[in-house]
Amino acid sequence: MGPVVSPPGISWTSWVAFQEFRIYAEDIFTHPRDSCPFLLGIDLDADEAFGKTVRSLRKRKLWSQEQLAFEAGVDRNYLSLIELGRNSPSIKIIFRLGIALDTNPSELFQLVEACMARDIKPPAS
């Protein structure tokens, strides 16, 4: 088998980032209860969905909150409040978190949207 190359017109960096995103997205859909609280029938808002996504990405890297907070340059308590959905991070913090988590803000929001799109309501009784 030959070397792995990116498709024509796509940079190697973009291709690797896409593959990592694909693997994470597959994880959301194959282990939804671990990755996406919406599948439990819990009605979460966007802040909570964002926090759950950040927590999932952090755990995927096997990082503590302290480690992610250090890498992103934020206070650990603030990161905890973001993960709980009690605080809404600024654009600056979203970029810092994305860089620390080896993703960009658009991919971060795609994961949040994918999680929200999988929202399953409990059947009406």
For 93-122, what is each residue's pLDDT tens digit?
999 999 999 998 889 988 888 777 665 333
Would you give the DSSP letter of residue 110?
H
Q: What span, in angstroms and rounded, lies between the C-alpha atoms of 120 and 31?
A: 15
Close Cβ partners of 78 (under 8 Å, ≥ 6 residues apart): 69, 87
The more confident residue out of 20 and 102 is 102
* Residues 107/21, Cβ–Cβ less than 8 Å: yes
pLDDT at 101: 94
What does CATH list as the number for 12-117?
Answer: 1.10.260.40
Q: Which residue has the tokens 């409040």?
A: 81
How do the domains of the chain map onto residue ranges?
12-117
pTM: 0.62
